[in-house]
Structure 1
């Protein structure tokens, strides 16, 4: 990815797409510095990496009155931990994505007379911040069982994990149900895919995030697949995959 101007950043929290109500998104991550200096350290500080953390901050134009609006979503999520996915330049399949399981820890709204009503809010990580790609775009409605596009995210080393987030943005139909899963393969044919993660069945808007156990996975190709049931079902959902 070459240099670019931020005009199409994407932000998904739980089952809500906050892109059209956001004008600023920031992500930060850090590792604590632990001082291990002693008399054998050669006269220089000796540092070890301690606990890691990540933080998401966002702001934009305030809206309310619907579960998809920022005020309704922020109140519902405040104090709870859930899936967050962020993209610096769109959410098409293959676009860069960052994802984590984060606590919605603050929410600030409104301002002085004459101003466009603003909001600010943020989340602090309960899991590591993973870096990867979007595996399913937000604007493609799914009405039947299917599979997504394969992504060459690479193998997962021992001690690392594959992280997957699912944001179900809208649901329609009679008794609709979406069960999404993450599959891996040795190559892009997915001739004999292995299911690595399976999300809980979703019948309403909402978010989920999962991760593998931490054992090595040699497969290098990954995709999202889904099973849809119900009468005239239709789902809009976003999925992101990453490793850490």
Structure 2
């Protein structure tokens, strides 16, 4: 059984490579289930897939210096921007697929944490439109 340790994920938002700030990235997609059960279903629930949706979850190490992560993310607030995520920062390929699409930057937490914590920011952005999986 193949195994993998994530050591060098690639994360890009709005054309900015944010890999150096990112310590966690998750792309999740789902499909609504629509109940189409009738009496002809003989007591078994029948489902069809409905609308698809997704989310890009990220955890960044915060840096508020000029041109760093806070300065990159703040102007994006309220906009829909492209994203790209790969398990490795190597080229896209069959062993390193890229997931891409667009997300709504619907929030930013510039200050988060307790005494003695590292300065980090956790966000979850909903996708807007299709999420694609590319291998070339």
TM over 0.5: yes
Q: Which residue does 1:41 correspond to in 2?
A: 41
2:74 corresponds to 1:72: no
2:105 corresponds to 1:104: yes
Partner Cα separation in structure 1 for residue 71 and residue 62 of structure 2: 10
Asked if 2 retains the 8 angstrom alpha-carbon contact of 1:102 and 1:123, the reply is: yes
Residues 45/93 of structure 1: CA separation in 2 closer, same or farther (3 Å cut): closer
Post-superposition offset of 1:60:
2.4
Instruction: Give the greater-gyration-radius structure (CA).
Output: 1
For structure 1, which segment, 17-26 or 106-115, has the greater mean C-alpha deviation from structure 2 after superposition? 106-115
Find the residue that maps to 1:20 and give its secondary structure: coil
Find the residue that maps to 2:107 and give its secondary structure: strand
Q: Which residue does 1:114 correspond to in 2?
A: 116
Q: Per residue, is there more strand in 1 or in 2?
A: 1
Asked if 1 retains the 8 angstrom alpha-carbon contact of 2:80 and 2:103, the reply is: yes
Partner Cα separation in structure 2 for residue 59 and residue 40 of structure 1: 48
Listed one character per residue, the Cα deviations across residues 34-77 of structure 1 (whole Å, up to 9, x for unaligned) are: 1111101121111111110010010121012334x221122111
Asked if 1 retains the 8 angstrom alpha-carbon contact of 2:92 and 2:134, the reply is: no
Partner Cα separation in structure 2 for residue 35 and residue 12 of structure 1: 37
Matches within 5 A, 1:187-198: none
Asked if 1 retains the 8 angstrom alpha-carbon contact of 2:92 and 2:98, the reply is: no
Residues 50/110 of structure 1: CA separation in 2 closer, same or farther (3 Å cut): same
Asked if 1 retains the 8 angstrom alpha-carbon contact of 2:15 and 2:83, the reply is: no
Find the residue that maps to 1:74 and give its secondary structure: helix
Q: Which residue does 2:15 correspond to in 1?
A: 15
Structure with greater contact order relative to length (CA < 8 Å, sep ≥ 6): 2
TM-score by length of 2: 0.88
Q: Which residue does 2:133 correspond to in 1?
A: 131
Matches within 5 A, 1:137-148: none
Asked if 2 retains the 8 angstrom alpha-carbon contact of 1:62 and 1:110, the reply is: no
* Number of corresponding residues: 132
Partner Cα separation in structure 2 for residue 122 and residue 16 of structure 1: 17
